């Protein structure tokens, strides 16, 4: 998913919305939300990116409990679903011999259930069994997750071999299932949905603690609840460039936003751009002109998965899928082949009917 952030960049005007534009991701973490002293912020690092929390705190209560809740959820998700941890539950499953079985905790089962649901619904545009292919393309676990990509595309024969051994159809699954059987050589990867699940769990935990309003995001996947201390919606800037007129600002009290796209994760070889988004149906990076897709959903886990689905499908198929499934989404395409140039105009946003209905001014 995209490397975006919700912290206010330095020098931004007072009262500005949370910023979801790509290039502002480079602003330092932990900046204070300055336009209202009753909104307090925490931040940190997780899953190869940053997290940020804003809480409506008119009583100026201690944030120690909130920080502990955030860390507890993140630790749980990493321990179960991180391919970057050798002793995580998902890594242990990936290493099982053919026929090996594993009991699943509720959290893992919930995430896998959602991933398998959207895999079937989308015809395989998202597939949690693509771990080997993700690694083959160099987007899987590596010593420094923030280091530049090696930029070496794999051989077609190797891609096809790995693709033949993957596919969600190889792993029988029923809703509510709480165990897995390793069919042999299958490597799960839940990165396209686990981060959104973590966002949901943190937001829900903080609401149960009594925090009546807040925004929590991990690397740009965000969920909000309640309202700001002034009674207004949380303001979120959704865009892919620095220019404020080209960005889209939405107000949100309850719900989640997730963005996928290759503006943030890609590599170039001989002038060709290779996206980090692998099409599970071909085993190769998507090649259409989509720059980013942002999805709104009640739950960040589903927004996260659907942003990946729509990115893989591309504008035409993605729009058809979004309309058929009443998905609130906004698409942006690359303006032209010179999209990487500084100051390149941002393409016009293309929104679904559900997005228009949800965020009608």
Q: How many CA atoms lie within 13 A of 302 on its CB side?
A: 16
Domain 18-80+195-253 has CATH 3.40.630.10: no
Binding-site residues from annotation for Mg(2+): 192, 304, 308
Question: How many helices and strands, by DSSP H and E, does the chain display?
Answer: 8, 17
Tens of each residue's pLDDT in the chain, 361 residues: 443 333 343 333 334 444 433 333 332 223 233 467 899 999 999 887 899 999 999 999 999 999 999 999 999 999 999 999 999 999 999 999 999 999 999 999 999 999 999 999 999 999 999 999 988 888 877 656 556 666 678 899 999 999 999 999 999 899 889 999 999 999 999 988 999 999 999 999 999 999 999 999 998 899 999 999 999 999 888 865 444 445 688 888 899 999 987 655 556 655 666 677 889 999 988 888 788 899 999 999 999 999 999 999 999 999 999 999 999 999 988 765 444 444 445 556 889 999 999 987 5
CA separation for the pair 35, 352 (Å, rounded): 32
CA separation for the pair 70, 211 (Å, rounded): 13
Which among 23, 17, 28, 31 is positioned nearest to 4, based on CA atoms? 23
Binding-site residues from annotation: 192, 304, 308
Which residues neighbour 276 within 8 Å (Cβ) at sequence distance 6 or greater? 137, 139, 262, 264, 265, 266, 285
CB atoms within 10 A of CB 333: 17
Residue 335: what pLDDT?
63
Predicted TM-score (pTM) of this structure: 0.85
Q: How many CA atoms lie within 13 A of 123 on its CB side?
A: 8
Written in H, E and C, the secondary structure of 288-347 is CCEEEEEEEECCHHHHHHHHHHHHHHHHHHHHHHHHHCCCEEEEEECCCCCCCCCCCCCC
């Amino acid at each position: 998913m995209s490397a975006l952030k919700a912290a206010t960049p330095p020098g931004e005007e007072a009262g500005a919305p949370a910023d979801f534009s790509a290039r502002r991701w480079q602003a330092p973490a932990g900046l204070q939300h300055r336009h209202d002293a009753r909104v307090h912020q925490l931040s940190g690092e997780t899953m190869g990116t940053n997290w940020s929390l804003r809480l409506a705190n008119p009583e100026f209560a201690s944030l120690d409990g909130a920080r502990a809740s955030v860390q507890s959820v993140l630790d749980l998700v990493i321990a179960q679903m991180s391919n970057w941890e050798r002793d995580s539950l998902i890594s242990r499953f990936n290493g099982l011999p053919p026929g090996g079985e594993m009991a699943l905790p509720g959290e893992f089962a919930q995430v896998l259930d959602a991933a398998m649901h959207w895999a079937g619904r989308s015809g395989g545009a998202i597939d949690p069994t693509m771990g080997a292919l993700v690694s083959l393309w160099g987007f899987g676990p590596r010593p420094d997750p923030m280091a530049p990509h090696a930029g070496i595309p794999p051989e077609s024969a190797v891609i096809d071999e790995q693709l033949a051994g993957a596919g969600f159809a190889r792993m029988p699954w029923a809703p509510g299932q709480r165990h897995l059987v390793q069919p042999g050589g299958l490597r799960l990867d839940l990165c396209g949905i686990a981060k959104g699940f973590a966002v949901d769990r943190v937001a829900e935990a903080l609401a149960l603690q009594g925090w009546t309003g807040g925004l929590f995001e991990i690397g740009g996947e965000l969920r909000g609840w309640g309202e700001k201390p002034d009674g207004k919606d949380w303001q979120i800037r959704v865009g892919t460039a620095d220019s404020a007129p080209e960005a889209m600002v939405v107000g949100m009290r309850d719900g989640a936003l997730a963005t996928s796209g290759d503006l943030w994760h890609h590599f170039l070889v001989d002038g060709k751009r290779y996206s980090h988004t692998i099409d599970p149906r071909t085993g190769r990076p998507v090649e259409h002109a989509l720059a980013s897709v942002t999805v709104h959903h009640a739950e960040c886990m589903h927004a996260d998965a659907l942003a990946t689905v729509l990115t893989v499908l591309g504008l035409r198929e993605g729009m058809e899928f979004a309309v058929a499934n009443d998905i609130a989404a906004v698409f942006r395409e690359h303006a032209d082949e010179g999209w990487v140039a500084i100051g390149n105009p941002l393409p016009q946003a293309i929104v679904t009917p559900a997005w228009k209905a949800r965020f009608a001014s």
